[in-house]
Amino acid sequence: MSLGLEKGRSSELIGLGGEHDWQLLRTCPIGQSASIGTADRNGLDATYQHASNIRTMRKVHEGILFQMTPDAVSSQHAAKNLMQEEVDIDNIEALAHPHGPALVNLYFRIIHPSFPILHKEVFIEKYNRTYREIVPHLLAAVYALAVRWWAYDADLLLEEKVDEDALVRIASQSVQNAMHHPRLNTIQAGLLLLQRGRDASSADNSWTWSFTASLIGLGQHLGLHLDCITWAIPEWEKGLRRRLAWALFIQDSFSAMVFGRPCLISMRDWAVAPLQTCDFSENSPDEVAGRDGGGSSSIENGKLLFMELAKLSTITARVLQQLYSVQALATVTEPQQVLALGKPLGNDLADLLKNLPPNLNIENLQQGRLCLSGFFHFALQATTAVLDRRMLWALQRSPAGVDTQFAQIFRTALRQRAYNLVQLVSQLQPEHMEAFWFFAAGSCGVILGCFLALLRVTSTTLEESDELKGLMNEFEWQLRIKVRMGEWVLYTLARLKTLGWDEWKALEPDFDAIPGDHQRLGALQSNAVDTGDPAHSLLSAMNSESSSVPLQENNSATWLTEELEDLGIPWDLGGT
């Protein structure tokens, strides 16, 4: 029997540090009822009943208890205290009629492979019987997100689009209602709502962040932060729980990064093992293709993408917690401190890219298939930029005493990364842009644009300043010619302009005001033109129209370990 999707009852994890005392509960098996699943074989008493005869306790593993509450109880309480207005499932279907089945098909063709937070077999089985078996908030959220790919159905192309905004309003209201008796589908619907594109002129960051926090809280309420591998629940639900848990982690990490907030999930309270292929419920034969054979997403590549995103999100969370927490910003200020923390993080990012499955390479395009890897590479570049700018801040804050040769190599590496991220945007093809991109895509673009601008306004030579201005222009141009391919592109362009993009491009650095050590750095970089220094070869590669620097080979985030060791520069960065 399902724990998180049981019909008629919602579940609540009984925390060991809460009102309920686990030892007392073990001694009071009141009204023991029939066990479930494999509980008997494991010697576990699966269910205890409260004396109230209303709520029950369900034991899924030693030390893991859930309180099961009938929907009627929670609904009566909500109606009494909140005057809720119930959502009618028929009203949702009326908005999509007669295109509901086509929208479900689009959802599983394009969105689900790279965002596998539903159990497709269960959803389709229920939906084929009747749409009324799908909870209102999930049905409306699936319909609303699928509308974005309306033109990918040959029949829908000739029809008037359904009212996406109306579906979103109903889904949002229904999710709020469902929070009083939450199930896994409450979190599923909430995550789908969060993936919608954002409007730069009216981005409701307060709602997005607080709603994300609510979903993470619900996830803990339902026990998603725990390892369920040994629980007495169906195998398909174990995989679903693990995928949902990591979807919440991904949402948390990238939300924290783009909003400049602390991560809500603490690794000290996270027991979910890394994803494995056995956690996914579909394989290649389950892929849904378009009637013309094109415009679908690979399930196998989607699995790989989701697993790699989960890995990236853990590194992103560590970057934020170690370098951007309130305490870290106050105490980790010197370049030596930033380097000590940043080096292993940068190496982990480099290893992630180095070991990336070949199918997720940005150049891997398949005929008639959408390429799912675009967002991953974009998010990886953004995380690297967030890491690198922390060292750049430290160098600007404390230039004295920093070895100028180290600073030269570091800035040269950052200019190479600036080139790489512009090259990445130029490599994005329609197959990338038309695929499903996670909610943070537009904000990742803003982070990358700001990284280019920060490099330019901190330039130490006129040559470097002009070079970075050219990269800013190219970055903007590449986004402009792709603006009709993805909603996130418009958000990036509009947000950068609002923040001061044009002013950053027009600003001319005052080299006379640069501190002495940075002037020495500028001299080193200028002399590189005549001395054959690696910095000059980099500039030549950037400025040569015939050059083709492979993105994969130059996207290193190793924090210059080999370069510094070859030069004999000590890690304390001190000048001699």
Distance between CA atoms of residues 511 and 522, nearest Å = 9
% of the chain residues with pLDDT over 90? 62
Question: Residue 8 — pLDDT band, cuts 50, 70, 90?
Answer: confident
What is the rounded distance in angstroms from the CA atom of residue 46 to the CA atom of residue 39? 6
> Do residues 143 and 167 lie in contact, with contact meaning Cβ atoms separated by under 8 Å?
yes
Sequence-ordered list of residues with C-beta below 8 angstroms from that of 223, at least 6 positions apart, any chain:
11, 13, 64, 66, 241
Q: Is the pLDDT of residue 470 over 60?
A: yes
Among the residue ranges 269-278, 289-298, 305-314, 411-420, the one predicted with the least confidence is: 289-298
Distances (CA, A) of 479 to 61, 120, 150: 51, 35, 23
* pLDDT above 90 (res 355): yes
Run of H or E including 369: strand 369-370
pLDDT at 537 over 70: no
Of 63-67, 481-485, 545-549, least confident by mean pLDDT is: 545-549
Tell me the mean pLDDT in the region 373-393: 96
Tell me the average pLDDT across 446-467: 95
Predicted confidence (pLDDT) at residue 177 exceeds the cutoff of 50? yes
Buried/exposed 187-213: b ≥16 CB within 10 Å, e otherwise: bbbbbbbbbbebebeeeeeeebbebbe
Lowest mean pLDDT among 130-144, 409-423, 557-571: 557-571
Using CB atoms within 10 A of its CB, is residue 355 exposed (0-12), middle (13-18) or buried (19+)?
exposed
> Pick from 524, 316, 322: which is nearest to 440 by CA?
316
Residue 482 has pLDDT above 60, yes or no: yes
Identify which of 10, 105, 136 has the alpha carbon closest to the alpha carbon of residue 67. 10
Domain ranges of the chain: 9-70, 75-286, 296-304+334-567
CA torsion 25-29-33-38 (nearest 10°) is 60
pTM of the model as a whole: 0.85
Which pLDDT belongs to residue 567?
42
- Pairwise CA distance, residues 7 & 29, whole Å: 24
Angle at 362 between CA 359 and CA 366, to 5 degrees: 55
Burial code of 85-113, b = ≥16 C-beta within 10 A, e = fewer? eebebeebbebbeebbebbbbbbbbbbbb
Per residue in 265-280, pLDDT (tens digit) is 999 999 999 999 999 9
Measured between alpha carbons, how far is 242 from 254 in angstroms, rounded to an integer? Answer: 18
pLDDT band at 290 (very low <50, low <70, confident <90, very high): low
Alpha-carbon torsion (79, 81, 82, 83), positive or negative: positive
> Which range, 37-51, 53-67, 303-317, 410-424, has the best average confidence (pLDDT)?
303-317
More confident residue, 471 or 518: 471
What is the reported pLDDT for 533? 39
pLDDT at 237: 93
Q: Residue range 353-376: average pLDDT?
A: 94
pLDDT at 399: 65
- pLDDT tens string 79-117: 544 445 567 899 999 999 999 999 999 999 999 999 999
Looking at residue 545, what is its pLDDT? 38
For the ranges 163-172, 286-295, 356-365, 521-530, which has the lowest average pLDDT? 521-530
Dump pLDDT digits (tens) for 489-515. 999 999 999 999 999 999 987 766 555
pLDDT at 527 over 80: no
pLDDT at 45: 38
What are the tokens at 514?
Answer: 């640069």
Average pLDDT over residues 207-214: 95
Specify the range with the lowest mean pLDDT, choosing from 122-131, 198-207, 216-225: 198-207
The one-letter code for the residue type at 314 is: T
Say if residues 305 and 360 touch (Cβ distance below 8 Å).
yes
Picking from 64-73, 359-368, 529-538, which range would have the lowest pLDDT averaged per residue? Answer: 529-538
Average pLDDT, the chain: 82
Residue type, 517: D
Cα torsion 22, 23, 27, 28: sign = negative
